Structure 1
Amino acid sequence: MRRHFAAALLGLAASCAQAQFARAEDAVKYRQGTLFVLSQHFTRIGAMVNGRVPYDARAAAENAEIVAVLAKLPGAGFGPGTEHGSRGAKPEIWTEQARFKEQNERFIAEATRLAAAAKTHNLDQLKAAYAATAATCKACHDAYRNN
């Protein structure tokens, strides 16, 4: 029951993400919040695939499912006027919108593959999908994030 509720809630959040924000700073907070939560779940999977914590197939699948849903959310927070409240974002996000959107779509696709791999309960498949997803994160961070 709890898992179904969480899945329904995440689905609702994904559909609401496309809604307009009342203020640019709301979009920035939304973006930063979703990226933070996404990183928390992705890091949990990373700890398993890198052997820092024992592999738990069920936990990996649950976290990967959350990552796949959350991957769709932050893009809505990069709208016009949000560049002024950004802490680590490079200006190219707003000047290279098509390229940035393409990077984001690659991340969403890899996150979806990560969730599918996690459902197999095969650690080797999870490791491969995690590495591919992490590579999309790194590519986007290299291009659009100040370190």
Structure 2
Amino acid sequence: MMKKVFVIGMTAAVLMASTLAAATDVEDAIEYRQGVFNTIKWNFGPMAAMVKGKIDFDAAEFSRRADVVAVLAKLPREGFIEGSDVGETDARPEIWENKDDFDAGMDALAKNAAALADAAKSGDMDVIKPVFGELGKTCKGCHDDFRVED
């Protein structure tokens, strides 16, 4: 009898621990991807201001920020784990329902961010602007399809 109680108690403890671990994993995944996207936004904003002429163009600063975004653009996908469509997130269910389309958007983000980093090395706003515009369209496309906007 004591052995049965012990086994049942241990089974319950393992199930509770795995449920808590899964919840933590989901919360961590959401926090991770939001952190990456916020850091992209942090770097994207000043570049957008330079492209729009709202602040003076600083080629070295623009290039540094473009390099950072190129690295960051490769990271968010791993934060979209199964079950992370609920909780404190603006992620729409379409991410998991249309995973191939979402993955294509993530690939385009990485590709276009790398292209911007390359264009930024020219230091020429005429070269940078159209590439920056393509990256902006990529971001907007995913936001339109896969993110709940405020």
- Does TM-score exceed 0.5, indicating one fold? yes
Confirm or deny: 8 A CA contact 2:74 2:110 kept in the other structure.
Answer: yes
AA at the equivalent of 1:40: W
Pair 1:76 & 2:78 matched? yes
Aligned residue number for residue 126 of structure 2: 124
Larger relative CO (CA 8 A, sep 6+): 1 or 2?
A: 1
Percent of residue pairs bearing the same amino acid type? 38
Q: Which runs of 4+ in 1 moved over 4 A?
A: none
User: Quick one: distance in 1 between partners of 2:84 and 2:67?
Assistant: 28
TM-score (norm 1): 0.83
Q: Give SS of 1:68's match.
A: helix
Give 1:87 deviation, angstroms: 2.4
User: Quick one: distance in 2 between partners of 1:53 and 1:136?
Assistant: 23
Tell me the number of residue pairs that the alignment of Structure 1 and Structure 2 aligns.
127
**Structure 1 portions without partners, runs of 5+:** 1-21
Q: Which of 36, 39, 42 is the equivalent residue of 2:41?
A: 39
Alignment RMSD: 1.3
**Structure 2 portions without partners, runs of 5+:** 1-23
Aligned residue number for residue 88 of structure 1: 90
Aligned residue number for residue 19 of structure 1: none
Structure 2 matches for 1:107-146, cutoff 5 A? 107-146=109-148
Q: Which of 84, 101, 106 is the equivalent residue of 1:104?
A: 106
Larger radius of gyration: 2
User: Quick one: distance in 1 between partners of 2:140 and 2:64?
Assistant: 23
Give 1:86 deviation, angstroms: 4.5
User: Quick one: distance in 2 between partners of 1:89 and 1:121?
Assistant: 35
TM-score (norm 2): 0.81
